[in-house]
Chains A and B, each alone.
Chain A
Amino acid sequence: MSAILVAAAEGEEHNPLIPELPEIVLGLVVLGILFLLIRKFVVPNFEKAYAERTAAIEGGIEEAKSAQQEAQAALEQYTAQLADARHEAARIREEAKEQGAQIIAELRAQAQEEAARITATAHAQVEAERSQALAQLKSEVGSLATDLAGRIVGESLEDEARQRRTVERFITELEGSAN
């Protein structure tokens, strides 16, 4: 109680604008200690979190970028492959067409050759048969003529009727022998 009264009495003379040295010293010491503690234990932690956050965000952006690039590359690759495939298909089609045409041409040539061969064979056979027939005819005509002449000469040829009969008989014989 007395201390308060004393304080109140002193208050009349107390000038609050005169700083007290112990307060200044204490303020400096406390502020200094707090500053050192915060600089050592608090700020690095916050800064670490900030840095990690920045890194995480940048990493995310980087990742997205690379993914986009990859997708772009894949797209280009597929497009290229597709174009290649189209070229290949066109080439194969072209080749097939050529081959087809070639095969047709070959077959045609073969067929023509065959036809020619067959025609030639037929010609040859016909020719052979003809010449054979001709040869046979020649020999037969000779003998027939001789035969006929003999008969005509052998029988008297005064009777025209006889003569006709003779010829008819000869022809009938001839027909019979031919049969």
Chain B
Amino acid sequence: MTLASTALVAAADGPPQPGPGSFLLPPTFTIGGWEVNKPELFLVLSLVIVFAFAYATSRKAQVVPGRLQFAGELVYGFIRNSIARDNIGSADYMKYVPYLFTVFLFVLVNNFYGVIPVIQFPSMSKFGFPVALALVTWLIYNVAGIGRHGFVGYLKHQTVPAGAKGPILIALVPLEFLSNIIVRPFTLALRLFATMFAGHLLILLFSLGAAYLVTGYANAAIGIPAGVLSFVLGIGVSFLDMLIMFLQAYVFTLLTAMYIGSAIADEH
């Protein structure tokens, strides 16, 4: 609806200029002063989708998996064995599997909203959601590390590289502290947000551009072929975006596991 309206407006007023403003959606409805918009609505829907998928595939988990269970186990086994166990270590990984599994499916579904018809808006392109996820990951790996090494021990573990001695520590310790404690949640949130933001912007650009070129451009002889080309490119970009949507879900989960793994590791 919004896209169509924007396109109409654009068609009437000149070339469309999708930008940060395209991510400010009008409220779908309002509850007591809180304006609920589309990404918020679909974020809640993703809760239902993810849980329905996970529950349906695991409800009757058997020794010999059925078709449904096999699909669920494909994802669960991948998170559990390839991401959690390989990065955290076989002694402690089981504690973090539920969170990693949740995060992976949650990010994946919310990313793929960007290419699902009607929804067509990746929730993670609203910065607040990746920030929430990164915050939780940051808390988990720091708490896990402090629980393992104690507060001072953990700080030392994260800031003093193995084998470093002497005055070099004056330079290293603040750097390590910055990169391991301060920067990590920002990069986590920014990476996910920026890829989804850019992907959505690209799709907007190509699709709105195609609509404008075909319907609104003054010279139809140029406008229609260029619009069709733009449309085809838009499809290509959508597929690229789908790859990135999956990769970002994977990267976010993998980095979470790696951060936890390095925080509770015994030695460097």
Q: Tell whether A pairs with B.
A: yes
- List A contacts of B54 (CB < 8 A): 38, 41-42
Q: Taking the complex as formed, is B173 at the interface, i.e. its CB lies under 8 A from any CB of chain A?
A: no
Q: Whole-angstrom distance between the alpha carbons of A9 and B20 in the complex?
A: 11
Are A31 and B136 closer than 8 Å at their CB atoms? yes
Within 8 A of B (CB), among A29-60: 30-31, 33-35, 37-39, 41-43, 45-49, 52-53, 56
Query: B197 at the A/B interface (Cβ < 8 Å)?
Result: yes
Contact B128 A23, beta carbon cutoff 8 Å: yes
The 4 closest A-B pairs by CB, nearest first: A11-B21, A23-B128, A27-B132, A49-B61
B5 CB contact (under 8 Å) in A4, A35, A43 = A4
Which one of B38-46, B141-149, B155-163, B255-263 contacts A?
B38-46
Q: Which residue of A lies closest to B39 (CB)?
A: A23
**Interface residue? B25 (CB, 8 A):** yes
B151 contacts the other chain (CB 8 A): no
Q: Known interface pairs A5-B9, A35-B99, A38-B51. Does A49 touch B63 (Cβ–Cβ under 8 Å)?
A: yes
Contact between chains at A39 and B126 (CB < 8 Å): no
Within 8 A of A (CB), among B75-104: 76, 80, 94, 97-99, 101-103
| Chain B interface residue bracket vs A | 35 or more
In the assembled complex, A178 has its CB within 8 A of some CB on chain B: no
Return B8 CB to nearest CB of chain A, in Å. Answer: 9
Contact surface of A with B, Cβ cutoff 8 Å: 1, 3-5, 7-12, 14-28, 30-31, 33-35, 37-39, 41-43, 45-49, 52-53, 56
User: Shortest CB–CB separation between residue B256 and chain A, in angstroms?
Assistant: 12
Closest to A55 in B: B63
Contacts of B43 in A (CB 8 A): 26-27, 30
B129 CB → nearest A CB, Å: 4
Contact between A42 and B22, CB atoms less than 8 A apart = no
Cα-based distance from A43 to B94 in the complex (angstroms): 10
Q: Which of A12, A16, A26, A34 contacts B102 (CB 8 A)?
A: A34
Distance of A46 Cα from B40 Cα, bound (Å) = 30
Q: Chain A contact residues: over half helix, strand or loop, or mixed?
A: helix
Contact assessment for A19 and B128 in the assembled complex, using a CB-CB cutoff below 8 Å:
yes
Interface residues of B in 28-51 (CB under 8 A from A): 34, 39-40, 43-44, 46-47, 50-51
Q: With a CB–CB cut-off of 8 A, which chain B residues contact A18?
A: 127
Task: Indicate if B238 sits at the interface (CB-CB under 8 A).
Answer: no
Decide yes or no: A22 and B128 within 8 Å by CB, A1-B5, A8-B21, A27-B43 being known contacts: yes
Decide: B97 and A48 in contact? CB cutoff 8 A: no
Please indicate the chain A residues that have their CB under 8 angstroms from the CB of B40 in the complex: 22-23, 26
B133 CB-CB contact with A under 8 Å: yes
Contact between A42 and B34, CB atoms less than 8 A apart: no
- Min distance, Cβ B220 to any Cβ of chain A, angstroms: 26
Complex CA gap A23/B36 in Å reads: 10
CA gap between A176 and B65 in the complex, in Å: 133
Q: How far is the CB of B175 from chain A (nearest CB, A)?
A: 24
Closest to A6 in B: B26
A46-B21 in contact (CB<8A): no
Bitwise, B1-28 to A at CB < 8 A (1) or not (0) is 0100110010000000001111111100
Q: Is B55 an interface residue (CB 8 A)?
A: yes
Interface string of B50-71 (1 = CB under 8 A from A): 1100110011011101000100
Contact, CB under 8 Å: A34 / B51: yes
Does B217 make an interface contact (CB < 8 A)?
no
Chain A residue with minimal CB distance to B1?
Answer: A4
A2 to chain B, nearest CB (A): 10
A43 to B39, CA, bound (A): 28
